[in-house]
Structure 1
Amino acid sequence: MKRLNITAILFLVFLFLFSGIAAGCGKYKSENTGYALFYLNKQREKIVSKPYDPESTDTDALIKEYIARMSEDSDDVEYQKIFPDNVKIARYEYTDHQLYLYFNKAYGDIPAPEEVLCRGAVVHNMMQIHDIDGVSIYVDNLPLTDANGVEVGILTNDSFVENPGEQINNIQEANLTLYFASATGDGLVRETQHVYYSGNTSIEKLIMERLLDGPKSSNARSAIPDTTQLVSVSVMNGACLVNLDDGFLTQNFEIKEDVIIYSIVDSLTELDTINTVQIAVNGKTDITYRDKMSLGEYYKKNLDLVIEDGDDVEVVQKQEKEGLLDTGE
Structure 2
Amino acid sequence: MKATKIFTMILLSLLVFSGCDRQEEVGKDQSFVYYLNLDGTGLEKRAYEYTEKSTLKRAQEALEAMDRPEEGEKVRSLLSEGVKVKKVTFSKGVAGVHFNGAFTGLTKLSETLLLGGMTYTLTQFPEIEGVQVYIDDSELADADGQARGVLHKEDFIENIGASIHTTETAKIALYYGNQTGDKLVKRMKSVRYNSNSSIEKLVVEKLIKGTKTKEETSPLASDVIVLGVTVKDGICYLNLSESFMSTQGKTSPEVTIYSLVNSIIDTSESVQKVQISINGESDVKYKENISLSKPFSKNRDIIEE
Shorter-chain TM-score bucket reads: 0.5 to 0.7
Question: Cα distance, 1:201 vs. partner?
Answer: 2.1
Name 1:57's counterpart in structure 2.
Answer: none
**How far, CA to CA, are the matches of 2:206 and 2:277 in structure 1?**
19
Q: Is 1:28–1:35's contact at 8 Å kept on the other side of the alignment? A: no
CA separation of 1:187 and 1:78: change in aligned 2, threshold 3 A: farther
Name 1:293's counterpart in structure 2.
Answer: 290
Question: Cα distance, 1:283 vs. partner?
Answer: 1.4
Deviation readout 1:212-267 (Å, 9 max, x if unpaired): 11135442121113331222211122211111111111153631111111100111
Name 1:165's counterpart in structure 2.
Answer: 157
Deviation readout 1:179-237 (Å, 9 max, x if unpaired): 11111100001011100223332211111111111135442121113331222211122
Matches within 5 A, 1:89-168: 162=154, 165=157
Counterpart selection for 2:180 from 163, 178, 184: 184
Question: Which amino acid in 2 is paired with 1:34?
Answer: E
Structure 2 residue 66 is matched with structure 1 residue 51 = no
Counterpart selection for 1:77 from 40, 59, 62: 59
**How far, CA to CA, are the matches of 1:251 and 1:79 in structure 2?**
35
Name 1:19's counterpart in structure 2.
Answer: 12
Question: Cα distance, 1:77 vs. partner?
Answer: 2.1
Question: Cα distance, 1:174 vs. partner?
Answer: 0.9
Q: Which runs of 5+ in 2 are unaligned?
A: 1-6, 34-42, 63-91, 93-122, 125-152
Name 2:272's counterpart in structure 1.
Answer: 275
Aligned-partner SS, 2:59? coil
CA separation of 1:284 and 1:30: change in aligned 2, threshold 3 A: farther
Q: Is 1:232–1:244's contact at 8 Å kept on the other side of the alignment? A: yes
**How far, CA to CA, are the matches of 2:61 and 2:157 in structure 1?**
14
Aligned-partner SS, 2:24? coil
CA separation of 1:246 and 1:20: change in aligned 2, threshold 3 A: closer
Question: Cα distance, 1:298 vs. partner?
Answer: 0.6
Question: Which amino acid in 2 is paired with 1:51?
Answer: K
**How far, CA to CA, are the matches of 1:21 and 1:249 in structure 2?**
37
Structure 2 residue 222 is matched with structure 1 residue 226 = yes
Aligned-partner SS, 1:211? helix
Q: Is 1:176–1:194's contact at 8 Å kept on the other side of the alignment? A: yes
CA separation of 1:35 and 1:300: change in aligned 2, threshold 3 A: farther
Question: Cα distance, 1:34 vs. partner?
Answer: 3.0
CA separation of 1:177 and 1:286: change in aligned 2, threshold 3 A: same
Aligned-partner SS, 2:22? coil
**How far, CA to CA, are the matches of 2:200 and 2:32 in structure 1?**
20
Aligned-partner SS, 1:247? helix
User: Which structure has the greater CA radius of gyration?
Assistant: 1
Deviation readout 1:30-53 (Å, 9 max, x if unpaired): 663436558899xxxxxxx97356
**How far, CA to CA, are the matches of 2:194 and 2:19 in structure 1?**
22
Matches within 5 A, 1:230-249: 230-249=226-245
Question: Which amino acid in 1 is paired with 2:277?
Answer: A
Q: Identical aligned pairs, as a percentage?
A: 26
Question: Cα distance, 1:162 vs. partner?
Answer: 4.0
**How far, CA to CA, are the matches of 1:40 and 1:266 in structure 2?**
40
CA separation of 1:28 and 1:258: change in aligned 2, threshold 3 A: farther
Name 1:32's counterpart in structure 2.
Answer: 22
**How far, CA to CA, are the matches of 1:284 and 1:40 in structure 2?**
29
User: With structure 1 as the length reference, what TM-score do the two structures score?
Assistant: 0.49
Question: Cα distance, 1:78 vs. partner?
Answer: 6.6
**How far, CA to CA, are the matches of 2:170 and 2:178 in structure 1?**
24
Deviation readout 1:133-188 (Å, 9 max, x if unpaired): xxxxxxxxxxxxxxxxxxxxxxxxxxxx9465378713321110111111110000
Question: Cα distance, 1:304 vs. partner?
Answer: 1.5
Matches within 5 A, 1:245-264: 245-252=241-248, 254-264=250-260
Aligned-partner SS, 2:251? coil
C-alpha RMSD of matched pairs (Å): 4.2
CA separation of 1:78 and 1:297: change in aligned 2, threshold 3 A: farther
Name 1:312's counterpart in structure 2.
Answer: none
Aligned-partner SS, 1:267? helix
Aligned-partner SS, 1:243? strand
CA separation of 1:79 and 1:175: change in aligned 2, threshold 3 A: farther
**How far, CA to CA, are the matches of 1:184 and 1:304 in structure 2?**
16
